[in-house]
Homo-oligomer: A and B are copies of this chain.
């Protein structure tokens, strides 16, 4: 039962990788640009990138000698949805079934 959420959360549990995501929300970028602000060796940075890509949070294509990376929206939505669902419950909101039940008992 290894959920995709595992890899999503794991991929986001690192400041370097979150910074990459943040930058990519402004549009695709080549590896070099993404690497520039991070004070670490390129191979180290590439490991972060490939972890993001393995998780499916990011995709990339190579054009010439440059690799262009772009964000993948859907997974982040999934993570957000999981969190939202938990919040709905702990905030005491009713889920659909409970709403329906409440409605039915109202009209009786």
Contacts and interface: CB of A to CB of B under 8 A. Distances in A.
A79 B77 CA distance: 12
Nearest to A71: B90
A6 interface: yes
A25 B86 contact: yes
Contacts of A10: 9-10, 13
Contacts of A5: 12-13, 15, 18
Contact of A76 (B13, B22, B87): B87
B22 A15 contact: no
A83 to B, nearest CB: 4
Given A13-B10, A15-B6, A25 B76 contact: no
